[in-house]
């Protein structure tokens, strides 16, 4: 039986595509829409977990990722 894990997806528009990044593993993908970028990232992550050995997963996985907004002075 497969287990699941919650990971972070940061999605931003870059020119004509959307780029999705998982900061816990530094894996990215892209798509023409937000949903397709998210779907492609999930596929890339699943392929990573299928092919990577336990030591590579442990080495790459950042367990503490904080996503927040900051305010900066401009000008």
Q: What is the pTM of this model?
A: 0.88
Burial 2-41 (b: 16+ CB within 10 A, else e): eeeeeeebebeeeeeebbbbbebbebbbbbeeeeebbebb
Q: In order of start, what are the domains of the chain with their CATH numbers?
A: 1-75 (3.30.160.250)
Q: Are 46 and 52 in contact (CB under 8 A)?
A: no
pLDDT at position 38, please? 98
Which among 8, 5, 7 is positioned nearest to 68, based on CA atoms?
8
pLDDT at position 2, please? 82
pLDDT digits (tens, 9 = 90+) for 23-74: 999 999 999 999 999 999 999 999 999 999 999 999 999 989 999 999 999 9
């Amino acid at each position: 039986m497969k287990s699941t894990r919650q990971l972070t997806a940061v999605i931003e528009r870059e020119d004509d595509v959307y780029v999705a990044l998982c900061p816990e593993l530094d894996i990215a993908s892209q798509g023409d829409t937000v949903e397709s970028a998210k779907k492609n990232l999930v596929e890339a992550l699943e392929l990573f977990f299928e092919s990577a050995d336990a030591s590579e997963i442990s080495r790459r996985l950042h367990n503490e990722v904080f996503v927040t907004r900051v305010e900066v002075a401009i000008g």
